[in-house]
Structure formats: structure tokens, C-alpha cells
């Protein structure tokens, strides 16, 4: 019996065929994975990189984006990229915290004061340090994308203080940090893959979840979860990663071109993201979702002990201090 993984490994191996010299290799299509739907800003940003690659190489090099989780969950695609079965994957830091500890710092609660603060840090030395850390596990970090500010939403009631979460089963990503956030706030954190959230809300397997408003809208979870509470508890960004094997299979000019285009795709993605967030907020409000403010000081105080516990490692403390210095 051929498993999904074996099929993908075979698919990836065939995609990697061909000599690496720039200007002489036959047409090659790099495979990229994303769990988000078509037209999502990260999906469009990677498509843009592919279009620019095709233009610059006379269509000898391109990218095909498999969106909507076609190649598996985020954790699955990271492993597939590590072994060269796929070439690129876009992954939220929440799915990377356990394997790549530096990604845990930007995912922690109330590390950033604003979107502008997050962008300064991820565009600067802290972001470069995080991207360099992926090399330890056969990946290369190409760039860091926005993922908006994460908030709580549920099917039961408005959340204004942490006590309002008590007794609620809240979906969190499969990440120790996000499980700890849920516990610190008194909820019952339930790790689930992103693609399972809608049906789990609908069947009351869970009471709510946490995510950015674009994902809340694009996944149509707003149809069943009618209460959006602006906890702003995390700005967990996203990484665009390339398989080391795939990258080393490119010619030097192609490698540099891919690196340059990934960097240039960040402002393009952010332009799409800012517009998409406004569109999503307007759409969920029009659909009748109730949006409420929360006591941010109470949420920050409830999660502060987990932040301090996480920062006992000197390397993580240094990264945190560097990020806070850019506030």
C-alpha cells in the first residue's frame, strides 16, 4: 500500500531532478505548501515569488503553490521540506516552537506592543537570528511574514477578563507555548490542526479558538463562533522555509535570486495583509459577529509567569530583550 507520505516523497524526488547550473537546466517547478486558502496573503506572496522567478529565468524556474492544506498540516510540511520531498513551506511560528526554540519568543503573549513593533523586530537583527536558526535542521529561513494579532473567539459568550474563559475548551495550535497560554488564562486548551477547527466548533467538540481575524474569516469559522474578543495576546509571525537540499540543488545565481525575491515579497505580502484584515473585519461585523474589547492588563498579568518561566534560557532572554528594545 502506498502511503500519502511515500507518494509525496516520490513526488518531491521527481521535482528535484535536473542539473543545477543556472541558465542550462530544463524547466523546473518548485513545490510550495500552505494550509491557507487560495488568495490568502501568504499564498499570494509565494505565488508572486514564483512569477518573478519565471520572469527572471525565462520560465526555467517557477513555483507551484499547493494551498488549503493539500500537502498536509504545517508540521507535516516542515518534515517534508526537511527531507526534500517538497521545496518550500509557509509555517506559523506556533507550529515551530518545539523544534526551533527561538521561534517561541515572538509567539509568546504580549511580547510586541503593536504591528509596527513586530515588523521592526522581524525585519531587524532578532528576525535574522531566528531565520539563521532553521539551518540546524536542514532548512533555510527565507523571510518572515505577518500573521496579524491573535484573539479569542467562541460560541458561548463575550470574553472580557481571563475568568470568562474558565471552563471553555479553546482550540490552540499544537504548540507548548499556546497550550500554556490557554492554561494560564484558565481555559481548557485543546490542540487541533487548523483544518479541523470549523467542524469542531460546529459539533461542540470545542467552544472556541484563537487566531487572527483573517483566518477567522477565510475559514468561515465566524459562521459558528459569533463572539470575537480582542485579547491581542500574540502576534506569532510566519516563516517561509526552503529545503536545504532543494536550495543546494539550485545554481548560485538562482539561490541569490530566490533569497532576494523572498525579501522583496515581504512588503508585498504586508500590503495584501493590511487590506485583507480590513476586509475581514468588515465582513464578520456585517455577518453579525459581536466584537468586544478586553482588559488587556488582566490578560498580560495572567500570562506573565509563563513568559518569565520561558525566558530562563539565556539565549531566549537575549532575543526577548532585543525585541523589547525595539518597542
Q: What is the pLDDT of residue 18?
A: 40
| Burial category of 318 from C-beta neighbours within 10 Å (exposed 0-12, middle 13-18, buried 19 and up) | middle
The mean pLDDT value for 24-51 works out to 90
Q: How confident is the model at residue 27 (pLDDT cuts 50, 70, 90)?
A: confident
Check: CB of residue 88 under 8 Å from CB of residue 46.
yes
Scanning 249-289, the segments in alpha helix (DSSP H) are 252-286
Q: What is the H or E stretch that residue 313 is in?
A: none
pLDDT more than 70, % of the chain: 92
Q: How confident is the model at residue 268 (pLDDT cuts 50, 70, 90)?
A: very high
Beta strands across the sheet bearing 28-33: 61-66, 28-33, 88-92, 238-243, 139-145
Distance of alpha carbon 236 from alpha carbon 232, whole angstroms: 11
Nearest to 251 by CA among 12, 19, 14, 15: 19
Of the two residues 1 and 290, the one the predictor is more confident about is 290
The pTM score is 0.88
The answer to whether residue 306 scores a pLDDT higher than 60 is: yes
Could you state, in order of their start, the residue ranges of all structural domains in the chain? 4-146+236-272, 150-235+279-325
Distance of alpha carbon 221 from alpha carbon 264, whole angstroms: 32
pLDDT more than 90, % of the chain: 89
At 42, list the grid cell. Answer: 501568504
CATH 3.40.190.170 fits 150-235+279-325, yes or no: yes
Nearest to 15 by CA among 7, 142, 43: 7
Whether 4-146+236-272 shares its CATH topology with 150-235+279-325 is answered: yes
Distance of alpha carbon 211 from alpha carbon 194, whole angstroms: 10
The mean pLDDT value for 74-91 works out to 96
Mean residue pLDDT of the chain comes to 92
Q: What is the pLDDT of residue 272?
A: 97
| Burial category of 204 from C-beta neighbours within 10 Å (exposed 0-12, middle 13-18, buried 19 and up) | exposed
Q: What is the pLDDT of residue 166?
A: 97
Q: Domain 4-146+236-272 - what CATH class?
A: alpha beta
Amino acid at each position: 500500500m502506498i502511503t500519502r507520505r511515500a507518494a509525496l516523497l516520490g513526488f518531491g524526488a521527481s521535482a528535484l531532478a535536473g542539473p543545477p547550473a543556472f541558465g542550462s537546466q530544463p524547466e523546473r517547478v518548485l513545490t510550495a505548501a500552505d494550509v491557507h486558502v487560495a488568495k490568502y496573503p501568504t499564498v499570494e506572496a509565494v505565488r508572486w515569488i514564483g512569477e518573478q522567478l519565471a520572469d527572471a529565468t525565462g520560465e526555467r524556474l517557477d513555483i507551484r503553490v499547493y494551498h488549503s492544506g493539500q500537502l498536509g498540516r504545517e508540521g507535516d510540511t516542515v518534515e517534508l521540506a526537511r527531507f526534500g520531498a517538497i521545496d518550500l513551506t509557509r509555517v506559523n511560528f506556533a507550529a515551530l516552537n518545539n523544534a526551533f526554540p527561538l521561534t517561541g519568543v515572538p509567539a509568546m503573549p504580549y511580547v510586541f506592543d503593536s504591528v509596527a513593533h513586530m515588523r521592526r523586530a522581524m525585519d531587524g537583527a532578532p528576525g535574522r537570528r531566528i531565520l539563521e536558526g532553521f539551518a540546524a535542521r536542514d532548512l533555510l529561513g527565507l523571510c518572515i511574514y505577518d500573521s496579524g494579532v491573535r484573539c479569542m473567539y467562541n460560541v458561548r459568550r463575550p470574553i472580557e477578563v481571563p475568568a470568562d474563559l474558565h471552563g471553555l475548551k479553546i482550540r490552540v495550535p499544537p504548540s507548548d507555548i499556546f497550550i500554556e497560554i490557554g492554561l494560564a488564562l484558565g481555559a481548557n486548551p485543546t490542540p487541533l490542526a487548523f483544518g479541523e477547527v470549523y467542524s469542531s466548533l460546529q459539533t461542540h467538540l470545542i467552544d472556541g479558538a484563537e487566531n487572527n481575524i483573517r483566518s477567522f474569516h477565510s475559514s468561515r469559522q465566524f459562521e459558528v463562533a459569533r463572539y470575537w474578543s480582542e485579547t491581542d495576546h500574540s502576534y506569532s509571525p510566519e516563516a517561509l522555509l526552503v529545503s536545504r537540499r532543494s536550495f543546494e540543488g539550485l545554481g548560485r545565481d538562482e539561490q541569490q535570486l530566490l533569497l532576494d525575491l523572498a525579501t522583496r515579497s515581504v512588503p508585498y505580502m504586508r500590503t495584501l495583509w493590511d487590506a485583507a484584515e480590513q476586509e475581514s473585519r468588515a465582513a464578520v461585523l456585517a455577518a453579525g459577529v459581536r466584537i468586544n474589547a478586553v482588559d488587556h492588563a488582566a490578560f498580560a498579568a495572567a500570562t506573565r509567569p509563563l513568559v518569565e518561566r520561558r525566558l530562563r534560557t539565556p539565549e531566549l532572554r537575549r532575543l526577548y530583550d532585543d525585541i523589547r528594545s525595539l518597542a
